[in-house]
Amino acid sequence: MEGASEEVVLRTNSIWKNPFDDNQYRGIELANGLRALLVSSSRTDMSAAAMSVKVGSLMDPINYQGLAHFCEHMVAAGGSQKYPDENGFMTFAESKYGYFNASTGSDKTSYVFKVPSECFEEALDRFSQCFVSPVFTESLAEREVKAVDSEFWEVANKYYKKLVAVRKALSKKGHDYRKFACGNSKTLRTVPGRTLKQAVKTFHDTHYSANLMTLCVIDNRPLDEMEETLKTLDFHKIPNKNLETKVWNEHPYGRDDLGFLVNLAGSSSVIRLEFPTGDFDQFYNSQPAEYVVQLINCPLQGGLVANLKKREWIRRLLAHHTTIARGFGLFSVTISSTRLGLKHVPEMLELIFSYIGHLKRVGVQEWIHKEILSSRMLKERHSKISSYSRAEDLSEALGTVPFEDVLKKGFADSFDQGTIYRVLDHLDPYNMNCMVMSSETDDSNFPLRDEHYDFMYKKSKIEEQGKENCRVAMEKSSGTWSLPDRNPYLVDMPNVEHIEYLKTNVKTFRDDEFVNVRHQQKSCPKEPELEIGISVVLPSLCDDLQEFSLAYMFAQYFKHERLVCVY
């Protein structure tokens, strides 16, 4: 503890940051248990703040599905005792050319805004009142349930919503993860004799507490001034109910909930493999899943993506790991498939597991981990992340990470070989569900209908022989695969010289009737990037549709197949 006061019970400036970060950071904990990260950034002209609350859709009452999302709407759009006008905070932010939004996840809800720095203090005061004394009215509830219903219908036909709905339908009956997160007017009006206002007030009173809240504030003023401002506002008056953080120790997928193939129709051709995992957020220092994600996504020759593209089975492939809620996670491989690929799903799965087996056999390599870290460091140094996004990310990270490490999330500076192997062990054909969506699928005779998104699908067990073929492919050595070569251009501490912009920096190497080649020193400071632009003038394209189509296809081929060498 580096000093305290009546409002502040803990203060620390001992927060790790990467060597290129010139922002100043301070963590404080208020007497009511609210934890706040102050970020002083001299370069920002739009100040921002975000509040993350450890309350999400998995905590919905079973007879009020979507209530956490609805509560988010009520807090964001409602007034407060000090500022009673409905939608007052959003109106204020927009009147100052700022922005305000909120979102609900499985286990958290986030509120975030940005405004010009000169009106930030007033904005923070109004923002604090949303949590100190929100006012819920019947008229507001009626308006916002329509807004929630509108959100639902806006995305109801999106392919990714169907895939998530199927994922939930495959999970254990009775598990919180099966709940309908978005909600709509039907699920929010199911209890006779009880108004929406009563339901949302009960939910808010039960789950919203200062000790479950984490705040991030980004401004261009010094830290001491920012802290003094925060202490004069009413964040310390947010009620603290000393609630326990909800953790879901039981995974939504047990042995009986795995090994399924689901077929459904949609506007896109998508194959998705999903593997239940543990909650890897506790390993923020090593980011074990990121190692596996990077290798599966790598487009270089010898890798999975290049192999599947060469066969013309896929357009894109994206591996991803997410902690769905505190206690459990999911590793997914999502494939944008070609028509030909849909005819070779079993063979595609065998190749995927063959590559996973290769990663296990060659062993976890520390140099790959270091390259991932160097890339992240470089990207962070030269990124232009808005204060709005930064505030949201840091407020959410603070909910799971101590003050001193809150900036480490995303920087795997610790190499943990054993935990990476644990991630790979989850990628097993017997620990998987598979979904296949196609625009050519006829679902008229499919036996199952999703209750909320109203689409048909078919669920069947993956044949035992199919799983066994994948297991054999995973264990059998293959000369098909190879790890990417080391990247000779990555450095740990790049020293990039700033060159002032001058028109005379443009040099012409060749200029004739066939070719014009020029070079210009990049003027952006501290950006170690090379940009190559090639413009080919083909007058015939303007007159011939076939020529234009062929040129377009060649450009796409060149982009996806030939430029992989510069990845």
Q: What is the dotted CATH code of the domain comprising 255-385+400-475?
A: 3.30.830.10
**Domain 8-237 class, CATH top level:** alpha beta
* pTM, full prediction: 0.90
User: Contact 70/252 with Cβ under 8 angstroms?
Assistant: no
**From the candidates 7, 29, 72, 396, which is the catalytic residue?**
72
How confident is the model over 284-291, as a mean pLDDT? 95
The one-letter amino acid at 20 = F
**H/E element, 419:** helix 417-426
Please report where in the chains the tokens 């251009």 appear, as a residue. 489
- Per-residue pLDDT for 525 more than 70? no
pLDDT, tens digit, for every residue of 480-498? Answer: 999 999 988 777 655 555 4
- Report the 3 state secondary structure along 456-481: EEEEEECCHHHHHHHHHHHHCCCCCC
Round to whole Å and give the CA distance between 211 and 206: 13
**Looking at residue 558, what DSSP letter applies?**
I
DSSP state string for 9-53 = EEEE------TT---EEEEEEETTS-EEEEEE-TT-SEEEEEEEE
Is 72 assigned a catalytic role?
yes
**DSSP-H helix ranges across 311-365:** 339-342, 345-362
Round to whole Å and give the CA distance between 557 and 292: 27
Identify the pLDDT of residue 522. 63
pLDDT, tens digit, for every residue of 78-113? Answer: 999 999 999 999 999 999 999 999 999 999 999 999
The CATH 3.30.830.10 domain(s) of the chain lie at 8-237, 255-385+400-475
- The model's confidence at residue 375, banded by pLDDT at 50, 70 and 90, is confident
For the record, the structure tokens of 425 come out as 């062990």
Rounded CA Rg of the chain: 26
For the record, the structure tokens of 126 come out as 């109004």
For 171, the 3-state DSSP assignment is: coil
- Higher-pLDDT residue of 297, 490: 297
- By the 10 Å C-beta count (0-12 exposed, 13-18 middle, 19+ buried), 546 is classed as exposed
